[in-house]
Structure 1
Amino acid sequence: MSSARRLFARVRYFVREFSGEAAYDRYVAHARTHDPAAEVMTRRAFERARVDAREADPREGFRCC
């Protein structure tokens, strides 16, 4: 693999991890591994549940307003 392609792959990896976009992929992989017959949430439902959980816990995602 060329060095430019490797650099792009690394940058893409870190951007996805930093932005939280990879969290849904990890969730789907985990759900499929543990129970292949279970229904997996859509990305929209997953993000909604993630935001709700973050806002319900005062230690996570602290916002003053």
Structure 2
Amino acid sequence: MRLRSVLRHLRWYARELSGESAYDNYLDHRRRTHPGQPVLSRREFEALRHRPTVRCC
């Protein structure tokens, strides 16, 4: 049981670190704060997420 817990936490950490969980977090946020409104598809989300932005700093 302890090994499963460690592996689950490592998986969570790796997903957070790599950004793999970003879309899941986005969906959770949209459902909680904007119920009934349309959400982006994963492809649209990733396109916006990786679009270069111009910043002064």
Q: Which runs of 5+ in 2 are unaligned?
A: none
TM-score (normalised: structure 2) = 0.86
User: Percent same amino acid among aligned pairs?
Assistant: 36
What amino acid is aligned across from residue 38 of structure 1 in structure 2? Q
Aligned to 2:13: 14
Q: State the number of aligned residues.
A: 56
Q: Which runs of 5+ in 1 are unaligned?
A: 60-65
Root-mean-square deviation (CA, aligned residues, Å) is: 1.4
Deviant stretches of 4+, over 3 Å: none
TM-score (normalised: structure 1) = 0.77
Aligned to 1:5: 4
Structure number with higher relative contact order (C-alpha < 8 Å, ≥ 6 residues apart): 2
What amino acid is aligned across from residue 54 of structure 2 in structure 1? D
Aligned to 1:63: none
- Describe the superposition over 1:10-59 as per-residue Cα deviations: whole angstroms up to 9, x where unpaired: 1100110011011111110111111211101111110110001xx21357
